[in-house]
Amino acid sequence: MNICIVHGYRLNGTGSNIYVKNIARFLVRKGHNISIVCQEPHPEEIDFINEAHVFKTDNIEADLKFSRSTGYRGFCSVYTPDLNRRLLVYVYDKYEGFDYVNTFQEAEADEIKDYIDKNVRALKTIIKLRCPDILHAHHSIMQPYICYKAAAPDNIPYITTVHGSALNFSVRENECLQGYAHTGLSGSELIASVSKYNANELEEYFNSKGQGIKREIKIIPAGIDLEKFNICGFKNTKYRVTNIKKLKVKLKEKIKTERNGAGKGLKLSNKKFIQSFKKEFSIEDVYEYYCKEYESYESLHIDTDIIDTFEKIDFTGKDVILFVGKYIWTKGIQTFISALPAVFGKNPEAQVLIVGFGQSRGILQSMVYALDGGRKELFKYLVYNHLLIDPGSKARTPEVCRLFLEDLDASGKLDEYFNAASKLDISEKVHFTGIISHEELRYLIPLCDVFVAPSIFTEAFGTVAIEALSCGVLPIITYDYGFREVHDTIYNELKIGNSIKLKKLIIDRNFITNLSHNINSVIDFKQRSDFSFREKCRNIAAYHYSWESIAESYENIYGRYINKISRRKQ
C-alpha cells in the first residue's frame, strides 16, 4: 500500500511523536511505501527513512536532502512543509528550526489560517507526487482538517488517530478550533483512539456542543518496540553491568554533538537563586527568572554533566526510582517531589532520576532545593503560586500539592514534614538529567527498580508505563484518565494484590500520601527481584501492546477503506 501519514511535528520526544514514528517503522518493515508529513529536523538519524524532502517557500517544490537504502522491505519518504519558521502547537515549548512558536489556543485567526494554507499546499503537492492510496492524520487539529482540504478534490480517503493534547489543551479552549476539529474529524472515514477514555472524552465533548461526530471510533493503543525494551536482570548481574556500560557509551557519544544542554552551572544558579530568595521578590521577577533560566540552554539536549550524575548512582546495589516525561506541571512531578521525604525516610539510600524536558524544570528543581533546606514558606510559595511564576504551568490542574500541605498543617505535622526533609540530603539524591532518547532509555529503564507516572491532568494513554513493564519494572501510575485502563490491564493480570498492598492513585487530597506509600511498597516487594516476575511483566506488555500487532490493525483499516473508495469510484 501507498500511505501518507500527516503528523506535522517531530518524530521524537513526546508520546504522539513516538507513536507516529513506530507506526511508520513497522509499516515500512512490512513492505509498505510511506510518506510522512512532519517537522522532524534530523530525519537522517532515523534508520527506516530512505529520503528527506524540504519544501521551498511556495510549498509546491521541494529539495531532496538525502536518499539512501535502509534494508527495510518498504520505502519511507519524509516531507517537511515550509512554515516560514513559525510553528503552532498545543503545549508551548522551544522547537529547533523555529523562531516563532505559539499555541493554537492563543494564536490569532490569521496565524491559524496561514498555518493551514501552507500545510494544505504542501500536502496537495505530495498527493500529486506520491499518489497515496490513503492518508492517515494525527491529532484532532489541524492535521484532519488539512487532510479534509487537501484530499477532497481527488476523493482520497483519510483516517485520523486522536491523541490527548490537542483536544484538552487547545480545542476545549477555543471555539474556532472546535469548528476545525469537528470538520476534520467528520471527514475521516474512521477515528482511531489510543484508549477508551480518550474516545469517550472526544465523543462527550462534541455531544456537549451539540455536534456529535458520526464516525466509527476504534481503540488502537500505543505500543512498545519489544526488540528495544527488554529485561537485563536484577541488581548485581553481568547483564546489568553490561547495560550500564552501554548506556554510558551512548551518552558520551551524544554529548559530543549535543553541547548546549543544562549542566552543573544551571543547577548551581538555581540553587543560589533559592538560597537568596526573599519575600520581597515580586511574582514578575520570579517568573522572569524561570523564563531566562529556560532560555539559557537547549532543552532538547541532554544535560552536559549527565555522566557525572550517573557515576554517583549505584545501579547494582541501590534502589533507583525513575520518572520519564515532560517537565510540566500536568505530569505531576511536583507530587512526586512532595512524596520524597516519606520515601527517603523509609529508604534513605534510594536514588531518584527525573528524565525529560520542558518549561517547568526550573520551579521543580527549586522545589527540591526548598525541601532540602527545610524551607517551608518558600516551598508553599512555589506550590501556591505556580500558575503565576512557572512558564510551564499553562493548564489548570487539581491542586494536589496545596491540599497535601493544608492537611499536614491542619494535623499539626507541617513543621515535622519540613524538619524531616531537611535531614535527608534530598538534593544529593534527586537528579534531573534532561531529555534522554529511546535509544538510551532502552538501557536505563531496566536498571531501575520503581517507575512512577503520577500525572494529574487528562492523559490519553500511558506509553511510559508499558515501556517500563516491558523492561520488567513495575510502574506506579495514576488511576485516572487513559492511565486507568493500562493500570487495570497490568495489575489484573499480575494478580499480586495479596502480595503488595498498593493504593489506587485517585486524584484527591490523599494522592501524595498514597504515592509515597506505593513507592515504598514496591521497594519492599521482594518478588520484583525474581527474573520470573520481571518476565511476567514483559509478557503482559508484549501480549497487549506490541507495535507489530498495532501496525497490523492499521494495515487492516487502510485496506478496508481503500477498497471501499475503489468500489465507490466503480
pLDDT at 566: 60
Taking 3-state DSSP, the helix, strand and coil percentages for the chain, each rounded to the nearest 5, stand at 50, 15, 35
pLDDT at 24: 96
Per-residue DSSP letter, 167? I
Report the CATH fold assignment for 238-545: Rossmann fold (3.40.50)
Amino acid at 475: P
**Grid cell digits, residue 75:** 520505502
Per-residue DSSP letter, 420? H
Residue 21 in contact with residue 39, Cβ under 8 Å? Answer: no
**Grid cell digits, residue 222:** 500505543
Q: What is the CA radius of gyration of the chain?
A: 24
Q: How far apart are CA 371 and CA 405, in angstroms?
A: 13
Strands (E), 465-539: 475-477
Q: How many CA atoms lie within 13 A of 257 on its CB side?
A: 7
Domain positions in the chain are: 2-223+547-569, 238-545
Q: Which CATH architecture has domain 2-223+547-569?
A: 3-Layer(aba) Sandwich (3.40)
pLDDT at 500: 85
pLDDT at 501: 83
Beta partners for residue 354, in sequence order: 323, 432
HEC profile of 111-132: HHHHHHHHHHHHHHHHHHHHCC
Residue 306 in contact with residue 354, Cβ under 8 Å? Answer: no
Amino acid at 257: T
- Decide whether 2-223+547-569 matches 238-545 in CATH topology: yes
Query: How long a stretch of residues is the chain?
Result: 570
Q: How far apart are CA 343 and CA 280, in angstroms?
A: 33
Q: How far apart are CA 190 and CA 199, in angstroms?
A: 12
pLDDT at 527: 83
Candidates 158, 145, 190, 152; CA nearest to 35 is: 158
pLDDT at 483: 85
Residue 392 in contact with residue 360, Cβ under 8 Å? Answer: yes
The pLDDT profile of the chain, 570 residues, written as one tens digit per residue, is 999 999 999 998 778 898 999 999 999 999 999 999 999 999 999 999 999 999 999 999 999 999 999 999 999 999 999 999 999 999 888 888 899 999 999 999 999 999 999 999 999 999 999 999 999 999 999 999 999 999 988 889 999 999 878 888 899 888 899 999 999 999 999 999 988 888 999 999 999 988 888 889 999 988 888 888 887 765 557 777 888 888 999 999 989 888 899 989 999 999 999 999 887 788 999 999 999 999 999 998 999 999 999 998 988 888 999 999 999 999 999 999 999 999 999 999 999 999 999 999 999 999 999 999 999 999 999 999 999 999 988 788 899 999 999 999 999 999 999 999 999 999 999 999 999 988 899 899 998 999 999 999 877 677 888 889 999 999 999 998 888 888 898 888 888 877 788 899 999 999 999 999 999 999 999 888 888 888 899 999 988 888 888 999 999 999 998 877 665 555
pLDDT at 162: 94
pLDDT at 233: 60
**Grid cell digits, residue 273:** 537563586
- Quickly count helices (H) and strands (E) in the chain: 23, 16
**Grid cell digits, residue 562:** 481503500
pLDDT at 234: 57
pLDDT at 565: 64
pLDDT at 381: 95
Per-residue DSSP letter, 168? I
**Grid cell digits, residue 439:** 535509544
Residue 220 in contact with residue 192, Cβ under 8 Å? Answer: yes
